[in-house]
Amino acid sequence: MKITLKVWRQKNGNTKGGFKTYSLPHVSPDMSFLEMFDILNADLIKKGEEPVAFDHDCREGICGMCSMVINGRPHGPLQTTTCQLHMRSFKDGDTITVEPWRATAFPVIKDLVVDRTAFERIQQAGGYVSVNTGAAPDANAILIPKKVADEAMDAASCIGCGACVAACKNASAMLFVSAKVSQYALLPQGQSERKERVEKMVAQMDDEGFGACTNTRACEAECPKSIKITNIARLNREYYSAMVSSYEIASGGGGE
């Protein structure tokens, strides 16, 4: 396959970027998208040019590092991670445009690499359980209905890649935050910090500069782990419940 690439090149966050065109005449359809970029970078290095910077780690669809907008879609034409996208998804002679996530909260570091530590700060704000649980209990020690366990596991499958933010016209992080809140709110182990958790994580999300959710469902459509927007509905319920409880306590109304 012959592929033409239009790749966003940007030296750092303080300089202006732009697209640069490259031609790859011998691309195997069995290559992954990142392997194709490895070939491009090998050619650039041979020519004495600077390789394209892009994020990657596990290349198994687990870590969420491979953040690229491909032909206008986060992670490309399939609902999967970039590392799991193969060149057989494209045709001989195609021109492919590749750029970084576009969001104020995800500033460009270099080329296709963006700073996603905003997600880490949201997680640090409340995405944990601080109860000392001791040794791992037997699997049947805490009885959890299968439906609840399945919902919690589905929410916990979020890999924090940021595709939801890149897909959203408002650059909202609600799908990510709702998944992280849901995985704890559904389980007994997360109940002790339930109200404090959601208030802190939503506050941190707002501080980071993410936009508001307007329910266009673009996040759900592009999420490589198929996180559902029902988690956003749960996040809203958790947040409003926590706010009402906090108000009752502050006004002496006898809330928990």
Write down the pLDDT at residue 135.
Answer: 76
Tell me the domains of the chain and their CATH numbers: 3-110 (3.10.20.30), 117-250 (1.10.1060.10)
* Lookup: tokens for 202: 């939503």
Q: Which helix (H) or strand (E) holds 6?
A: strand 3-9
Query: pLDDT truncated to tens, each residue of the chain (256 aa)?
Result: 999 999 999 999 999 999 999 999 999 999 999 999 999 999 999 999 999 999 999 999 999 999 999 999 999 999 999 999 999 999 999 999 999 999 999 999 999 999 999 999 999 999 988 877 677 777 677 788 999 999 999 999 999 999 999 999 999 999 999 999 999 999 998 998 999 999 999 999 999 999 999 999 999 999 999 999 999 999 999 999 999 988 777 777 654 4
Whether the Cβ atoms of residue 6 and residue 21 lie closer than 8 Å to each other: yes
Whether the Cβ atoms of residue 222 and residue 164 lie closer than 8 Å to each other: yes
Write down the pLDDT at residue 246.
Answer: 80
DSSP symbol at 53: P
Q: Please choose, from the candidates 106, 107, 99, the residue with its C-alpha nearest in 3D space to the C-alpha of residue 82.
A: 99
Write down the pLDDT at residue 33.
Answer: 98
Write down the pLDDT at residue 35.
Answer: 98
DSSP string of 55-119, one letter each residue: --S-SSSSS-----EETTEET-SSSS-GGG-BGGGS-TT-EEEEE----TTS-EEETTEE--HHH
Write down the pLDDT at residue 189.
Answer: 86
| 198 vs 72: CA distance, rounded Å | 32
Half-sphere exposure of 218 (CA within 13 A, CB side): 18
Q: Please choose, from the candidates 50, 17, 201, the residue with its C-alpha nearest in 3D space to the C-alpha of residue 124.
A: 201
pLDDT digits (tens, 9 = 90+) for 181-203: 999 999 998 998 999 999 999 99
Q: How far is the first Cα of the chain from the last one, in angstroms, to the nearest whole number?
A: 64
Parallel/antiparallel/unpaired status of strands 95-99 and 69-70: antiparallel
Considering the entire predicted model, what is its pTM? 0.92
| 237 vs 91: CA distance, rounded Å | 46
DSSP symbol at 199: H
Write down the pLDDT at residue 138.
Answer: 73
Write down the pLDDT at residue 5.
Answer: 98
Rg of the Cα atoms in the chain: 21
